[in-house]
């Protein structure tokens, strides 16, 4: 079955840049989507189609892709950005979707 691989954790100090990666064989052809989930809450979309940002998401959130790896970048991370982040995409068929294992971002 298809898998997306993320690092379990990333830690930065406030104001630093946090980068969270997601690797998957189909990413060169299939868009990644990024979700933020804070404790006890439903996930929230922060980046879609590689690098687009929904309205209401701060400009410090950006996305990029290169080959089989997608990256979520938080420039000048804030304490309120502490959360779990998940990439989400589909296999080459486009019919089977999968979340990455999630990355816990710590900002302290």
Partner 1 sequence: QVQLQESGPGLVKPSQTLSLTCTVSGGSISSGGYYWSWIRQHPGKGLEWIGYIYYSGSTYYNPSLKSRVTISVDTSKNQFSLKLSSVTAADTAVYYCARVFLLQPGLFDYWGQGTLVTVSS
**Residue 30 Cβ vs partner 1, minimum distance, rounded to whole Å:** 8
Cβ distance to partner 1 smaller for residue 14 or 94:
94
Query: Which residues make Cβ contacts (< 8 Å) with residue 9, sequence separation at least 6?
Result: 103, 104, 105, 106
Q: Which position among 19, 65, 98, 106 is part of the footprint of partner 1 (CB under 8 A)?
A: 98
Query: Which residues make Cβ contacts (< 8 Å) with residue 45, sequence separation at least 6?
Result: 33, 34, 35, 54, 57
48 near partner 1 (CB under 8 A): yes
In this structure, are strands 44-47 and 61-66 parallel, antiparallel, or unpaired?
Answer: unpaired
**Cα–Cα distances in angstroms (integers) from residue 6 to residues 3, 15, 54, 59, in the given order:** 10, 22, 22, 23
**Residue 42 Cβ vs partner 1, minimum distance, rounded to whole Å:** 4
55 near partner 1 (CB under 8 A): no
66 near partner 1 (CB under 8 A): no
76 near partner 1 (CB under 8 A): no
Q: Which two structure tokens, joined as six digits, stand for 60?
A: 């410090």
Q: Where along the sequence are the contacts to partner 1 (CB under 8 A)?
A: 1, 31-33, 35, 37, 42-43, 45, 48-49, 84, 86, 88-90, 94-102
């Amino acid at each position: 079955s298809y898998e997306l691989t993320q690092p379990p954790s990333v830690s930065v100090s406030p104001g630093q840049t946090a980068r969270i990666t997601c690797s998957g064989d189909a990413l060169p052809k299939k868009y990644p989507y990024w979700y933020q989930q804070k404790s006890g809450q439903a996930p929230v979309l922060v980046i879609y189609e590689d690098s687009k940002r929904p309205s209401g998401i701060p400009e410090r959130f950006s996305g990029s892709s290169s080959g089989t790896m997608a990256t979520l970048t938080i420039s000048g991370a804030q304490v309120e950005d502490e959360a779990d982040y998940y990439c989400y995409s589909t296999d080459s068929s486009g019919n089977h979707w999968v979340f990455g294992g999630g990355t816990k971002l710590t900002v302290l």
